[in-house]
Amino acid sequence: MFENLRKRFQSILSGKENVIKVDEFEQEITEILLSSDVSLETADAIVELMRQRLSGIKKVEMNNFRMALRDSMAEIINAAGNAPELLNQPKKPYVILFLGINGTGKTTTIAKVANYLKQNGKRTVIAASDTFRAGAIEQISILAERVGVPIIKHAQGSDPSSVAFDAIDHARARNLDYVLIDSAGRMQTNRNLMEEMKKIKRVSKPDLTILVLDAMIGQDAISQAESFFKEVGYDAIILTKMDTDARGGAIFSILHQLRKPVMFIGTGQGLDDMIKFDPEWYLSRILPE
């Protein structure tokens, strides 16, 4: 992942003279960021932070310039705050509601989270509360069986909130650790969908609400996220399809503009293809040492 972005940075940060002109390299950094799916607003913010760190300096050693760039990027990432830790939550059951439009990989992501929890010794139930999309209940039922966790489901077209309510009751009766609630994913501009999301949230009273975003769609992901936050609200983000994101810079814009932490990133279609997002790991993958 992120090989193209790393190569772009390496081409200007490695193999050049030891002392460089700051203003010339600021422009090159901006161009790399913009071509890597970083929004203009976020690219400007990164360069401005770097400029502040190098205030009054016209020429600088390459190592110091590289350090100023890395620290500025880290500041943008860390400003979104720390992602909540899923494991060892004292409340039982710990209820998690998943939001996201169709095509983001939300259903597969729920299965990955269930698998992650199971591998860490946690007992989970999934609520199949996407009762509108044809095949949604079947899809998440197949994934739940693959993971080896129970699923609560009603007939297609039934009330999604009642499915969530029954799943929480199921978890309480069996002293389970987590309830993972799927939800419908029609376009975020659909008023009926948003009202349904609000109802599910009122009924289930989730301890954590996660928005699942497709990293491949760039600025559209931010527009989706802003709509969901305004209408329903969420606490953290899971980014999917990072393994197919050739540009690699969407994370910066999402963290900077949404101010919500990224918990996990999806790295493939398998149930184990999800890793916790670590800012230091990410920076080490895109910037040469």
- Please, which pLDDT band fits residue 222 given cuts at 50, 70 and 90? confident
Pick 37 or 261 by higher pLDDT: 261
For residue 128, what are its two tokens? Answer: 């199949």
- Contacting residues for 269 by C-beta, under 8 A, at least 6 apart: 108
CA–CA separation, 204 and 285 (whole Å): 39
Mean of the pLDDT values across residues 110-114?
A: 97
CA–CA separation, 202 and 159 (whole Å): 13
Give yes or no for residue 5 having a pLDDT over 90. Answer: no
Distance of CA 105 to the CA centre of its chain: 11
Please check whether residue 140 is in contact with residue 111, taking contact to mean a CB–CB distance below 8 angstroms.
yes
pTM above 0.85, yes or no: yes
Residue-level pLDDT at 274:
94
> In whole angstroms, how far apart are CA 151 and each of 47, 125, 141, 201, 272?
48, 6, 7, 19, 20
Give φ, ψ of 83 to 5 degrees: -70, 140
**Where, residue-wise, is CATH 3.40.50.300 in the chain?**
94-276
CA–CA separation, 247 and 6 (whole Å): 10
Mean of the pLDDT values across residues 108-131?
A: 96
CA–CA separation, 99 and 182 (whole Å): 7
Superfamily of domain 3-78: SRP54, nucleotide-binding domain (1.20.120.140)
Pick 186 or 112 by higher pLDDT: 112
Residue-level pLDDT at 219:
65
| Minimum mean pLDDT range among 182-186, 210-214, 277-281 | 182-186
Q: Cα torsion at 23, 24, 25, 26 (round to 10°)?
A: 50
Tens of pLDDT, residue by residue over 135-161, are 889 999 999 999 999 999 999 889 999
**Where, residue-wise, is CATH 1.20.120.140 in the chain?**
3-78
Q: Give residue for tokens 């799927």.
A: 182
Angle at the Cα of 4 (from 53 to 22), degrees rounded to 5? 25
CA–CA separation, 252 and 248 (whole Å): 9
Residue-level pLDDT at 245:
62
CA–CA separation, 283 and 246 (whole Å): 16
For residue 223, what are its two tokens? Answer: 């527009």
CA–CA separation, 69 and 53 (whole Å): 9
The DSSP secondary-structure symbol of 175 reads T
- Contacting residues for 36 by C-beta, under 8 A, at least 6 apart: 4, 5, 8, 247, 248, 249
| Cis omega (within 30 of 0) for bond into 93 | yes
List residues bridging with 212 in a β-sheet.
238
Q: Cα torsion at 72, 77, 81, 82 (round to 10°)?
A: -120
Residue 152: strand, helix, or coil: strand
Give yes or no for residue 42 having a pLDDT over 60. Answer: yes
Average model confidence (pLDDT) for the chain? 88
Q: What is the enclosing helix (H) or strand (E) of 264?
A: strand 262-266
The CATH number fitting domain 94-276, selected from 3.30.310.10, 2.40.30.10, 3.40.50.300, 3.10.450.40? 3.40.50.300
Other beta carbons less than 10 A from residue 22's beta carbon? 18
| Minimum mean pLDDT range among 29-43, 111-125, 232-246 | 232-246
- Please, which pLDDT band fits residue 190 given cuts at 50, 70 and 90? low
Mean of the pLDDT values across residues 99-106?
A: 84
Tens of pLDDT, residue by residue over 229-284, are 777 889 999 999 887 765 678 888 889 988 999 999 998 889 999 999 999 999 99
